[in-house]
Structure 1
Amino acid sequence: MSTYECKKCGMSVNASCAKCNEPLANDHLDVNGTQVQISKCPTCEGKIKSPQCCGADMGAN
């Protein structure tokens, strides 16, 4: 399962798709020329904004 970890405080979360029960993969989405970090299901290709902690995107491990 993918784990996202805060580089500042060390908090971590596991993320999976509730529809497919697949671990989410770290990815990026281009929004008006700006890269936005997202989490994407490799099966159904659903997308969410990646988790944040301490005011920043959590890094994918």
Structure 2
Amino acid sequence: MATYRCGVCNMGVDATCTDCKEALVNDNLSLGDGKVVQISKCPKCEGKIKSPMCCGADMSCAV
């Protein structure tokens, strides 16, 4: 399961897909402009979310 952690306050977040009841896994999404965005995705339905935010910044996820 991907655990996102805030670099400022150290809060952690785990996520699951409510449709599939599967733990989300860390992944990256390549955008058309060449940028890469860290995401979490469901291994079953392939649904995706952008990394969560805390303290005004994206939370990071160590793989």
TM-score normalised per structure 1:
0.84
Structure 1: any 5+ residue segments left out of the alignment? none
1:41 corresponds to: 42
Count of matched residue pairs: 61
Q: How far is 1:6 from its partner?
A: 0.7
Q: How far is 1:54 from its partner?
A: 1.9
Q: Which has the higher strand share?
A: 1
Identity fraction in percent: 61
TM-score normalised per structure 2:
0.82
RMSD, matched Cα: 1.4
Structure 2: any 5+ residue segments left out of the alignment? none
